[in-house]
Amino acid sequence: MGALIRNGRIDDDDVVLLGDDDTLPVSGRAVVTLARWLAERETLSALAPKVGILLPNTADLAESWPAIADRDLLCLSFPAFGDGRAYSQARLLRERYGFAGEIRATGAAVVVDQAAELLRCGFDAFSLRDDQKAEAFIERLAAAGTRRWYQRPAQVRPVFEERRGA
């Protein structure tokens, strides 16, 4: 697995991604699938915010939100480069549901060329593919953070609001 970018810099990945049959670690943070979370929620909830959730890009957020709202880490998956449903999920989590925790992008679309778009949609952590250079990704994020947008991004004030003085 490639580098983890969080808060605009390379960071240690403090999370273990668990399969549905893997045992929970004694210490540290873990990420489980949505299916496992729903099946073992009572047991896993005892670990408080130490358990994050890997949401498939097919998950219906309207259905899932009540069960995941208290988590501090949601990982959204891009199983194929051309499948951008996780972009929509990130926007919905930030704008409709007011999710303030970490939204981590994982999978095929987490590439330098998509850094600005990922940031605009509400992602704030990125698990890079092995073939991606972390320094280039960080540079692209920094450049995206200084750009001005006409469309409303998930976390940045668009130009039309600045012009109106809103």
Q: Give just the sign of the alpha carbon dihedral 124, 130, 135, 141.
A: negative
pLDDT in tens, 2-31: 799 998 899 988 888 888 888 887 777 899
Contact indicator for 150, 159 with CB cutoff of 8 Å:
yes
Intra-chain end-to-end CA distance of the chain, in Å: 43
Picking from 39, 33, 77, 76, the residue whose alpha carbon sits closest to that of residue 51 is 33
Cα-trace Rg, the chain: 16
Decide which of 20 and 1 is more confident: 20
Domain count, the chain: 1
134 phi and psi, to 5 degrees? -60, -40
Domain encompassing residue 122: 4-164
Task: Provide the pLDDT for residue 83.
Answer: 87
Which amino acid appears at position 26 of this protein?
V
CATH code of residue 63: 3.20.20
Provide CB contacts within 8 A for 99, sequence distance 6+.
69, 74, 93
Q: Give just the sign of the alpha carbon dihedral 7, 84, 59, 108.
A: negative
Mean pLDDT of 50-76: 94
The band of 54, judged by pLDDT with boundaries at 50, 70 and 90, is: very high
Percent of the chain at pLDDT above 90? 46
Contact indicator for 81, 108 with CB cutoff of 8 Å:
yes
Return the number of other C-beta atoms located less than 10 Å from residue 68's C-beta. Answer: 21
